Amino acid sequence: MQTGFIYSDELTKNILREDHILRPMRLRLVYELLESYKVFSNKSAEILDPKIATSFELMTFHSRDYIEAVSAFSRGEDLGRQHRYGFSDWGDNPISEGMYEAAALAVGASLTGVDALIDGSIDLAFNAGGGYHHAASDYASGFCIFNDAVIAIQKLLQKGVERIAYIDIDAHHGDGVQNAFYQTNKVMTISIHQSGDTLFPGTGSTDEVGEEAGIGYSINLPMPPNTNDDIYFDAFMKVVPEILKIYDPEILVAQLGIDTHINDPLSQLSLTTQGHNRIVKQIIDLAPGKLLALGGGGYDLSAVARSWALDYATMAGLELPNDVPEKYSLEYGIKTLKDDEITGSNNASIKATVQKTIDTIKENTSKYISQ
């Protein structure tokens, strides 16, 4: 399998706000960790340079008015309208100089992956700088300005792909992507996330199943706080492989948020880096020959660097030693890729809640999707 890691230093430079929890430097930590392991010296792994998405490409999902507003805000103009589009100086989505170009580059990086998959030069592409799954067509949300996942999927549809499965393992529900394809069966969205009862954006319950032609093709697996590796993996395996077998997608798009990690400051799930990577291995195995992987949430820098380095190495068919190379370890204080194993947290109440959710999803699948 030929894999591409889409990266440029430009993806790491835009600072939303000095105290903002989303720190673009996390992408550089991933890249440098892969470099320290000499991953890109392998024939199966290569770096792809991202392009900046054009306004025409952005308009395959976002409204012209919204795109023009973001461009103006990015230049420090017309700021009196920022609240209309989800921006504020103090909230999740602050105005920053150059934010338009940074957000358009994140989208362009995902489109670079699409192009490589379509022309056959790459089998698996990973844009760790993407995965902005909350953005709406005319509204910024949850640190997300432009929704690169939706725009990438739109391009795949334009290229003639008729069945696309989108799997989202971010701690936060992939609401922007779900909403974009809620009325079509050409895109199946599967989101596994911390329950919206306990976490932003407050959506993603099992009764959100789609509408019209899309009924049954939006699937949500909300997880209780403190869900650990074993319970999460069991739920994934009981739901996702069977659904993908029925749907039979031509390509898989996956958002690999690592804010599910036990040390993440924004969520309350309890996955380890190896638990996350175990799920990613399954996603790779389930992909029908083509996979576009995107980054997403992740606010503990160590967890982000270690998890996404593990994930890309897995895509490239490489097994990395657990001990981090000395130079990188000395610079960043990260010693091992994998976390210590967590034991004794297989809570019976959590298991029962998750099993009830699984049963509901299976009932919905049998009701709405042809076998």
Write the DSSP assignment of 184-218 as a string of letters. Answer: -SSEEEEEEEE-TTTSTT----TT----GGGTT-E
**Are residues 324 and 249 in contact, defined by beta-carbon separation less than 8 angstroms?**
no
| Beta-strand runs (E) in the chain | 3-6, 45-48, 124-127, 164-168, 187-194, 218-223, 251-255, 291-294
Catalytic one among 62, 83, 133, 134?
Answer: 134
Catalytic (active site) residue 134: yes
Q: Residue 255 in 3-state DSSP?
A: strand
Number of neighbouring beta carbons within 10 Å of residue 36: 18
Distances 70 to 64, 91, 296, 320 between C-alpha atoms, Å: 10, 16, 21, 41
Q: How far is CA 265 from CA 10, 260, 261, 299, 320, in A?
A: 26, 10, 9, 7, 27
- Dihedral angle of Cα 150, 151, 152, 153, to the nearest 10 degrees: 50
Given a contact cutoff of 8 angstroms between Cβ atoms, the answer to whether 219 and 189 are in contact is: yes
Active site residues: 134
